[in-house]
Amino acid sequence: MTKLINENYVPERTFVKAEFISSEKCFELIKEYIGIPLPSYYQINSFVDVLAGQLRNFSMNLQMTAAFLIQNENMFPRLKGSNLKNLRVTMVESFIKNTIHFTQGAFEALLTSQENTYKISVQQGKYNENAQNEIAVEALLAQDQKGLISCGSIKPALVFFHEGGGQEFSIITNDKPNSKEYNNLLDLRKIPVLIENQSKFEAMIDKREEIPKELKDYKVLKHKNFLEEIKKILNIKNPVYNENKDPNSPEIKSIEEIVGDYVFTADNFIKMILILLRIRANIPFIMLGETGCGKTSLIRKLYELMNNGVCNMEILNIHAGVTDKDIVHFLYDDKEIDGKIVKNSSIYAKAKILEERENIKQKNMKKVVSNISRKSFGYF
């Protein structure tokens, strides 16, 4: 390891003193960014939680600290001066723009349907449940078609961190290669490659990665390419292909084995990434679509990929005969297994246990990053 910055030294020009602002000022700033005159509580909460998740990972990325970039300009011959300093701005602006885009889109259909049903009630002067339901469904489906999520609809660019501590990230964009935004993102993509190559040079390792000349085009990737992408993004230790499995550890499945007959496309890959961002922020989400279009399969595969192929998802099919009591029982009551009630086997109890484990994991992660950043900003 090379210490690139002296211990406890952070250049003064790389930071500003943080100031507390009032809750009223916070609300005005959030409202201004979201771009909605009177945002609802759920819109504000969604915006803050998703953006905070991205910023937490950003703050834990040692390679993108202002101190590291400024102190090591010699490592980035093409990225000197103001352009180098603007890389952090490019990344944060991408977080904000994308969070705004999906915060607005996620609630537009619901708000439109609510507004239309309210107008029906007022105009006719009486409550008509059938008419209101019909209008609400039509509005919801119309908005869903306009806001259909696909790889080609990603605008602005999506920059997101991989699982496992925020040290690696991916970029998905539909910008043209000759645009300023595209070139800013390409410079951003070069940073980890240049750092990795420098570490290999100092370790006298000849095999170095080629500096990227363009960003990855996810629209042209094949199924096998997405398996490799999923491994990196989810920080999965499993091998990608069956032939690479360790014969001494047959219990560890390959990603190819876990995925099975499920075929990855650019569109379902993008949906999986957007779901992952919301899971990180503990934000519930709703997937709309015709029966059999792949909603459950997508969620199931994401779950299996993050759990070595194990699938113990709890699924409740909702139909006209399901009551509120049935839903409460499904969520909160312990399960009966082999004729016996098993303690803490309810969905709620298991979720609380997992939440506590995740909180402990996050606290430990923050301690590790804090200790590292106090000693030096560098690569390992």
pLDDT of residue 259: 92
- The pLDDT score that the predictor gives to residue 121 is 53
Mean pLDDT, range 322-335, rounded to an integer: 89
Least confident of 67-71, 85-89, 125-129, 183-187: 125-129
**Residues composing the chain:** 380
Rounded-to-integer distance, Cα 305 and Cα 298, Å: 11
- Ranking 127-136, 169-178, 302-311, 362-371 by mean pLDDT, the lowest is 127-136
Find all residues with CB under 8 Å of 8, minimum gap 6, and list them. 374
pLDDT in tens, 81-104: 556 667 888 888 889 888 887 777
- Minimum mean pLDDT range among 144-158, 253-267, 305-319: 144-158
Range with top average pLDDT, 85-94, 161-170, 295-304: 295-304
User: Is 353's pLDDT higher than 90?
Assistant: no
Q: Are 92 and 58 in contact (CB under 8 A)?
A: yes
Band of residue 77 on the pLDDT scale cut at 50, 70, 90: low
Q: Where are the domains of the chain?
A: 12-215, 321-369
Measure the CA–CA gap between 62 and 376, rounded to whole angstroms.
9
Q: What are the φ/ψ torsions at residue 225 (nearest 5 degrees)?
A: -65, -35
Q: pLDDT per residue over 250-297, tens digit each?
A: 788 899 999 999 999 998 999 898 888 888 888 877 787 777 888 888
Using DSSP's 3-state secondary structure scheme, residue 364 falls into: helix
In eight-state DSSP terms, residue 252 is S
- Of the listed ranges 134-148, 197-211, 267-281, the least confidently predicted one is 134-148
Q: Which range (129-143, 219-233, 290-304) has the least confidence?
A: 129-143
Q: What pLDDT does 148 receive?
A: 57
Q: What is the mean pLDDT of the chain?
A: 78
pLDDT value for 18: 76
What DSSP assignment string belongs to 179-233?
A: SHHHHHHHHHHHHHHHHHHHHHHHTT----PPPPSS---GGG--HHHHHHHHHHH
By the 8 A CB rule, do 101 and 78 touch?
Answer: no
pLDDT at 4: 40
Which of 268-277, 357-366, 368-377 is the least confident region? 368-377
Rounded mean pLDDT, 296-301: 90
